[in-house]
Structure 1
Amino acid sequence: MSPSMATAARMRYYHQTASAAVAEEASPHRLISMLYDGVLERLAIARSSIARRDVTAKLRAINGAMAIVEHLRLVLDHQAGGEISARLDSLYDYMLRRMTQANASHDADALAEVSGLVMTIKSGWDQIDPALQENR
């Protein structure tokens, strides 16, 4: 393994370990915010991978973003969430379809659209007072 590959591997390990430590300490509200951050990070990587014509990195990043969105979709509480939960479910479904299309056609614009949707949702989520969540 070359020195630069070893350094990259150490950095990945550090990032994964640090993320896991933060996740263990985070509130459920913060965890959702972190998941949105993860989607945005992977979509940015996918978009830059398309520009570099790095199909492997694009595929890995889109698959990661899709896995997070699918997880967000699966943890929706439809009983407590009512109409908001139903709308988020539909929006997550739309985002998954757009990411699938973007992957097949190397469409960075579709990924930008999904990023915009995630940023809008995350912005609203981050406006919620976490203390309100703890009192539910």
Structure 2
Amino acid sequence: MNMRTGAQQYAKMNKQTGVEEANPHQLIGMLYQGALDSLQQSLGCIDRNDIEGRGKHVGRAITIIGGLQGFLDHEKGGELSQNLDRLYDYMTVRLFDAGRENSKIPVQEVIGLLREIKEGWDGIGDQAKEIFSQSGQSVPG
């Protein structure tokens, strides 16, 4: 899965986003937020015993996590990339557990993990802008 495919997946979730103008750093941030939004919605579905809704929202989050995993560059990312790959695998397993058990606990666990990763990702925004400006690419925002 390439970056454009992942961004299109997020856009299909009826979100008003600036996907067309976003740089790769911003696109990844949007994907993290999309996964978090879907998981929050799945918690409400679990509370209402809405099995179909839970499945839809958890499935969306799993798709986004798979897209994020597909973006990893193990050659350049080294140990960090390998660790994220394993963490994304773990998140996916936990989300399957949530569906099987109809439990909020695995969903809440994955939300916590994604929030932590997203905070770190958001924290490198200035560095990403600098990298893109040095490469001659236009960086919005």
Relative to 1, partners in 2 of residues 1:18 and 1:84: Cα closer, same or farther, differing over 3 Å? same
Q: Give the unaligned 5+ runs of structure 1.
A: 1-14
More helix by share: 1
- Retained in 2: the 8 A contact 1:50–1:58? yes
The structural deviation recorded for 1:17 is 6.7
CA contact (8 A) 1:29 1:133 kept: no
Deviation digits for residues 8-57 of structure 1 (CA, Å, limit 9, x no counterpart)? xxxxxxx83733xx101111000000000001000001111000000110
Find the counterpart in structure 1 of residue 28 from structure 2.
32
User: Residue 39 of structure 1 contacts residue 68 of structure 1 at CA under 8 Å; is this kept in 2?
Assistant: yes
Matched residue count = 120
Segments of 4+ moved more than 4 angstroms: none
Give the TM-score normalised by the residue count of structure 2: 0.81
Percentage of pairs with the same residue: 38
Which residue of the partner structure matches residue 88 of structure 2?
92
Aligned runs of 1:108-127 on 2, under 5 Å? 108-127=104-123
Q: Report the Cα offset of residue 101 of structure 1.
A: 0.5
Gaps of 5+ in 2: 1-12, 136-141
SS in 2 for 1:16: coil
Given candidates 70, 87, 99, the residue that maps to 1:103 is 99
